Structure formats: structure tokens, C-alpha cells
């Protein structure tokens, strides 16, 4: 098979929208508003912005640069950049070996096995193993992200069809528990969500991801602003704005600062092969600083707007903000359905549609990492690689979907979004 010329984004606009699509996801709409409210509102936002600017942005620039320079997936990119075996990779492998030994001694056998495997892989393959881990991390995240994406799609249908007409937490909870404890329904929606994600990649970079990002990202912002307008004009909305934004430095703990740092990585999709993969389709003449700057502005704006869409309505309708799934799947359906005027289910539908769009564009970036890896490493055409990635992630996700009967069953989800 001859070498196919690597595609490029059509220009900076398409690239920025696609990276922003990856960055804006469940983390922005689901996690950020809540951790902000909990950790001192405006005070937390300041720390978060510092983390984004001084840690997130430089790392994002490095990832773009590695991708654009090598024009390869992370595994091949690190292989190329290592120039033979660098002492750093031996050092890293030794560090992991030390970590494995400590883990075994402290009884954390699973962590020990993982660290030992990683140490061995780096001894054997050098930094390209690190690139491979980032791709595996993306696939692992996608396997639960698409399960939740499936829940959200189901909620879009339920909301618009008026079947989510709950106005109290008890009934909202029973709708949620009924759904997540029916494996067949959860698995079906997970596979549908993943199929839509794969369809977004089908046309390639320009006619696939880029085209879809250009349609979906503006739609997401339109929906977000529409929900905000409704939320902010409800009587009593100001209490929600106060919870979300009024700075309270006494609530900002060391843990809160760490949370801001961790979230800045998660929200910008860093360390997960994505910016390297997307950067590998970037033309050499594009200004990386400009692109990273815009991605950060758009991502932060989406997170702030999400808080303004959620909390004013929650407080105005007499609920308390809750963490994680309770907020999204219990408090919010009840909140929107209480909005007077008879269109509560439509507001709930808009909200879940917006969440589904945010999740889809992030999922597309995750799946693309696997696809680009297969295309580059095995010199296969793109479409079979999309099908293979779909099947791999689909099967893995099914395992977790089948086992989920409650929120606590997914430790990965809890640690990143809960």
C-alpha cells in the first residue's frame, strides 16, 4: 500500500474549533461549576486560571509542537524524538520500578503490577512506550466516557418526549436508577453514542472532525446562552450566581488548589495523546501560541457559562447544588421541569442536548487518537481503523456498562468527574 499524504486542517479556525471541541466536554459542564461553587467561587476561578495559564498552556504548546513537528501519532512521535535510547528513558523506567516495589510493599498490588509493566515496556521500547500509554489512556477514558454519553443521549430522548417530567429528587432518582440498572439499555445507548462518534470521524480530518466541530460548537454555545437566559431571569436566580462566583478565600483549601490543577489538565485534554494527534495534522505555518490561547479562552468561557446556566436555575427552583451524577441526572431534570410556563421538558431537553454535543466532540478526539495510531503504525486505510477502534472501545465499554448498577461502580468516572 502506497504512503497516503497526511491530511491537514483547512486552517487555524478549523483546528481551534476541533481542539476546543475536545476540551469542552463533561468536565466543563458537569464538574467545573460544582467544584468552583464548593471551593470558594471566584477565589477558585483565580487559582484555576493560574493553573491553566502557567501549567496547562505550556504543556498544550509542547504537545502541539511535538505533533506538528513529527506529523505522527504520539507513539511514533516519541520514537522519532528520542534519537536512539535517551538516558531519561532509563531513568523513568527505574523510577517506575521503584514505584512498583513500594506499591508491593504497601499492599497496593494492582498499582504495583501496572507500574512494573510500564517499567518493563519503557526498558524495552524507550519513550515510544510512553506515547503508547497516552493512547491507551485515551481509549480507557473513552470506554467510560461513551457509557455516560449514552446515558445523556437517552436523557435527551426522554426529556424531549416528555418522559422525564420529574419535579422532585425522589422520582428523578428512580428514573436514573431504573435506567442505569438495565444493562441492555445502557449498553445499547453506549454503542449508539460510540457509533455517532465514529461517524463524525468517517470523513477524515477536514470532512469529518473539522466539519462536525464547525457545526456542533456554535450550536453548543447557542444552546448554552439560551439556557442561561432562562436560568438568569428566574426569580431568586441571584443566589445561584452568588454561590458560583462570589470569592471566598476561606473556602479555598490545599485540596481545592490541587483540584484546580488536576482539572486544568483534564479540561484541556492534556497528557492524553490528543493535542499531539491533532497537532500532527497542522500545517507548519500555523501559530501555535495563537491557537492554544484561543482554545483556553473558549474552554474557560464554556465552563463559566455552564455555571451560569446551572446554578441560578437550581437555586431559583429551591434545590441545593449537589456533586457529580446527582447534580446532572437528578437535580437538573427536577429543576428544569419546575420552571413555570409549561415548557420545562423542553428546557431539560436543551440542556441534555448541549451536554450530548459537548460529550460527542470530546469523544471524537479520544477515538481519533486510536484511529491515527492504527493508520500510522499499520499503514491501513482510515475506515477499517475506525471500525477496529469502535469495536475495541465498544467491547471494553460494554464490560463497564454491564457492571454498572450504581455510580460507585465506576472508580475511574468517580475520580475524574464525580
Q: Quick one: which segment of 121-129, 173-181, 198-206, 262-270 binds ligand PHE (CB under 6 A)?
A: 262-270
Q: How far apart are the first and last CA of the chain?
A: 46
**Least distance from C-beta 216 to ligand PHE, angstroms?**
14
Contact with ligand PHE (CB under 6 A): which of 17, 60, 272, 339?
272
In 3D space, the residue among 378, 395, 374, 398 whose CA is nearest the CA of residue 386 turns out to be: 374
Backbone angles phi, psi at 139, to 5 degrees: -65, -35
CA dist 418 and 413 (Å) reads 6
CA dist 415 and 140 (Å) reads 14
**Least distance from C-beta 137 to ligand PHE, angstroms?**
8
CA distances (Å), origin 48, targets 61, 101, 154, 314: 18, 35, 32, 24
**Least distance from C-beta 366 to ligand PHE, angstroms?**
5
Contact with ligand PHE (CB under 6 A): which of 17, 18, 19, 26?
26
Contacts of 98 (CB under 8 A, 6+ apart): none
**Vertex 94: Cα angle to 88 and 98 (nearest 5):** 145
Query: Contact, 227 vs 354, CB < 8 A?
Result: yes
* Residue 28 touching ligand PHE (CB under 6 A): yes
* Residue 267 touching ligand PHE (CB under 6 A): yes
Q: Quick one: which segment of 164-172, 206-214, 362-370, 388-396 binds ligand PHE (CB under 6 A)?
A: 362-370
**Least distance from C-beta 30 to ligand PHE, angstroms?**
8
* Residue 365 touching ligand PHE (CB under 6 A): yes
Nearer to ligand PHE, 103 or 362 (CB): 362
Nearer to ligand PHE, 299 or 376 (CB): 299
Element (H, E) at 153: helix 127-160
Query: Contact, 137 vs 347, CB < 8 A?
Result: no
Count residues near ligand PHE (CB under 6 A): 15
CA dist 126 and 210 (Å) reads 33
Nearer to ligand PHE, 160 or 294 (CB): 294
Binding marks (x or -) toward ligand PHE, 147..166, rule CB under 6 A? --------------------
Q: Quick one: which segment of 4-12, 213-221, 268-276, 393-401 binds ligand PHE (CB under 6 A)?
A: 268-276
* Residue 36 touching ligand PHE (CB under 6 A): no
**Least distance from C-beta 25 to ligand PHE, angstroms?**
3
Helices and strands in the chain, H and E counts: 21, 0
Nearer to ligand PHE, 21 or 240 (CB): 21
What is the per-residue DSSP string for 252-315?
Answer: --HHHHHHHHHHHHHHTTTTSSHHHHHHTTS-TTS-HHHHHHHHHHHHHHHHHHHHHHHHHHHH
Number of alpha carbons in the 13 Å side-chain half-sphere of residue 411: 0
In 3D space, the residue among 125, 71, 112, 115 whose CA is nearest the CA of residue 95 turns out to be: 115
* Residue 354 touching ligand PHE (CB under 6 A): no
Nearer to ligand PHE, 365 or 372 (CB): 365
Q: Quick one: which segment of 152-160, 221-229, 264-272, 310-318 binds ligand PHE (CB under 6 A)?
A: 264-272
**Least distance from C-beta 84 to ligand PHE, angstroms?**
31
Nearer to ligand PHE, 64 or 266 (CB): 266
Query: Contact, 357 vs 216, CB < 8 A?
Result: yes
* Residue 27 touching ligand PHE (CB under 6 A): yes
Nearer to ligand PHE, 337 or 372 (CB): 372
Contact with ligand PHE (CB under 6 A): which of 135, 209, 274, 317?
274
- Name residues contacting ligand PHE, limited to 6-25 (CB under 6 A): 22-23, 25
Backbone angles phi, psi at 247, to 5 degrees: -70, 130
Contact positions vs ligand PHE (CB under 6 A): 22-23, 25-28, 141, 266-267, 269, 272, 274, 362, 365-366
Amino acid at each position: 500500500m502506497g504512503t497516503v499524504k497526511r491530511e491537514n486542517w483547512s486552517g487555524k479556525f478549523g483546528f481551534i474549533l476541533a481542539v476546543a471541541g475536545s476540551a469542552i466536554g463533561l468536565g466543563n459542564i458537569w464538574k467545573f461549576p460544582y467544584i468552583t461553587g464548593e471551593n470558594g467561587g471566584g477565589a477558585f476561578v483565580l487559582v484555576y486560571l493560574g493553573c491553566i495559564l502557567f501549567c496547562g498552556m505550556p504543556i498544550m504548546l509542547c504537545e502541539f509542537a511535538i505533533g506538528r513537528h513529527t506529523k505522527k501519532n504520539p507513539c511514533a512521535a516519541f520514537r522519532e524524538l528520542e534519537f536512539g535510547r535517551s538516558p531519561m528513558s532509563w531513568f523513568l523506567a527505574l523510577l517506575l520500578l521503584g514505584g512498583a516495589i513500594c506499591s508491593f510493599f504497601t499492599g497496593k498490588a494492582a498499582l504495583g503490577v501496572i507500574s512494573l509493566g510500564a517499567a518493563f515496556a519503557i526498558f524495552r521500547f524507550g519513550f515510544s512506550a510512553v506515547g503508547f500509554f497516552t493512547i491507551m489512556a485515551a481509549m480507557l477514558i473513552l470506554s467510560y466516557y461513551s457509557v455516560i454519553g449514552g446515558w445523556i443521549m437517552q436523557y435527551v430522548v426522554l426529556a424531549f418526549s416528555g418522559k422525564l417530567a420529574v419535579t422532585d429528587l425522589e422520582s428523578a432518582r428512580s428514573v436514573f436508577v431504573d435506567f442505569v440498572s438495565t444493562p441492555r439499555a445502557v449498553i445499547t445507548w453506549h454503542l449508539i453514542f460510540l457509533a455517532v462518534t465514529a461517524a463524525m470521524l468517517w470523513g477524515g480530518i477536514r470532512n469529518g472532525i473539522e466539519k462536525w466541530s464547525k457545526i456542533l460548537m456554535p450550536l453548543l454555545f447557542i444552546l448554552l446562552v439560551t439556557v442561561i437566559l432562562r436560568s438568569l431571569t428566574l426569580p431568586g436566580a441571584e443566589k445561584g450566581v452568588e454561590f458560583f462566583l462570589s470569592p471566598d478565600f476561606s473556602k479555598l483549601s490545599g485540596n481545592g488548589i490541587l483540584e484546580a490543577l488536576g482539572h486544568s489538565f483534564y479540561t484541556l485534554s492534556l497528557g492524553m495523546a490528543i493535542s499531539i494527534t491533532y497537532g500532527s495534522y497542522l500545517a507548519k505555518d500555523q501559530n501555535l501560541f495563537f491557537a492554544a490561547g484561543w482554545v483556553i479562552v473558549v474552554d474557560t468561557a464554556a465552563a463559566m457559562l455552564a455555571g451560569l446556566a446551572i446554578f441560578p436555575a437550581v437555586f431559583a427552583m429551591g434545590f441545593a447544588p449537589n456533586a457529580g451524577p446527582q447534580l446532572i441526572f437528578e437535580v437538573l431534570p427536577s429543576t428544569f421541569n419546575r420552571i413555570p410556563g409549561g415548557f420545562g421538558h423542553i428546557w431539560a431537553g436543551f440542556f441534555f442536548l448541549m451536554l450530548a454535543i459537548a460529550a460527542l466532540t470530546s469523544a471524537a478526539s479520544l477515538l481519533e487518537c486510536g484511529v491515527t495510531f492504527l493508520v500510522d503504525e499499520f499503514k491501513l486505510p482510515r475506515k477499517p481503523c475506525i471500525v477496529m477502534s469502535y469495536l475495541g472501545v465498544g467491547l471494553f465499554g460494554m464490560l463497564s456498562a454491564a457492571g454498572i448498577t450504581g455510580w460507585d461502580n465506576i472508580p475511574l468516572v468517580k475520580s475524574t468527574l464525580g
